A and B are shown apart, each in its own frame.
Chain A
Amino acid sequence: QVQLVQSGAEVKKPGASVKVSCKASGYTFTSYGISWVRQAPGQGLEWMGWISAYNGNTNYAQKLQGRVTMTTDTSTSTAYMELRSLRSDDTAVYYCARDQLGYCSGGCAFDIWGQGTMVTVSS
């Protein structure tokens, strides 16, 4: 079945970096883009950015520009999200989510979600 499986929980110190993976299966990876969405404890959902699994084009949320990098490895059907210079307010569950359509450049609903990866930033 179509699914996205994410890497496990991480604990990082302030100023460090974290890289979360999202492995796709059950569909042609390069046919759909992937967005990353995070959710701080007890809070709502925040879109972080999008990457085309076809050509690697990216579109990042303005507030994260310069701290976030999204990449893909088409040989393993895996998307990655790296966040640098971590702060305590980056503590959140990080989700990857697939574009519902194959040509929407992030501008469409997200139909398949990973299970989430908890990232805790604490000294």
Chain B
Amino acid sequence: DIQMTQSPSSLSASVGDRVTITCRASQGISNSLAWYQQKPGKAPKLLLYAASRLESGVPSRFSGSGSGTDYTLTISSLQPEDFATYYCQQYYSTGFTFGPGTKVDIK
């Protein structure tokens, strides 16, 4: 299976901050990457797919970029409702592995 790593594992930020989370795959995944947001006790929510395409209804402060093995999720101006854990997932090959998550909390 393709292994996914994320950095940092956690971060503290303030409302209005720009936040960047990195996801790396153990091999190239041809932009077959999704980002999810999960709040405590809730199911994950799809934010972006195909590395950079915004899911319908997701605020435009979320953006994604990358290629090959390295991808990033950026929140341009952190809002109170954005404090959550973020996961990347590759869907390039079976196993469809998730990254270990990045927890974003309030500074």
A binding-site residues for B, Cβ under 8 Å = 35, 37, 44-47, 50, 59, 61-62, 95, 97, 100, 104, 106-111, 113-116
Contact of A113 among B45, B95, B97 (CB under 8 A): B45
* Residues of B participating in the A interface, judged by any CB pair closer than 8 Å: 1, 32, 34, 36, 38, 43-46, 49-50, 55, 87, 89, 91-101
Residues of B within 8 A of A107 (CB): 32, 91-94, 96
Determine which of A35, A108, A116 lies in contact with B43 in the assembled complex, contact meaning CB atoms within 8 Å: A116
Q: Are the CB atoms of A104 and B98 closer together than 8 Å?
A: no
**Cα distance A62–B93 in the bound complex, in angstroms:** 13
Give Cα A95 to B87, complex, Å: 15
Name the A residues within 8 Å of B95 (CB-CB). 47, 61-62
Count A-B pairs with CB separation below 8 Å: 64
27 CB contacts below 8 A, A to B, read A37-B44, A37-B98, A44-B99, A45-B87, A45-B98, A46-B98, A47-B89, A47-B95, A47-B96, A59-B94, A62-B1, A62-B95, A95-B44, A97-B43, A106-B91, A107-B32, A107-B91, A107-B94, A109-B46, A109-B50, A109-B91, A110-B34, A110-B44, A110-B46, A111-B46, A115-B43, A116-B43
A80 to chain B, nearest CB (A): 18
Contact A113 B101 (CB under 8 A): no
Complex CA–CA separation, A61 to B87 (angstroms)? 19
B49 engages A100 (CB within 8 Å): yes
Q: Are B49 and A45 in contact (CB under 8 A)?
A: no
Q: Which residues on A sit within 8 Å (CB–CB) of B45?
A: 113
Q: Which of A45, A95, A111, A114 has the most CB of B within 10 A?
A: A45
Closest-by-CB residue of A relative to B32 is A107
CB contact between B55 and one of A95, A108, A111 (< 8 Å): that residue: A111
CA distance A98 to B95 in the complex (A): 16
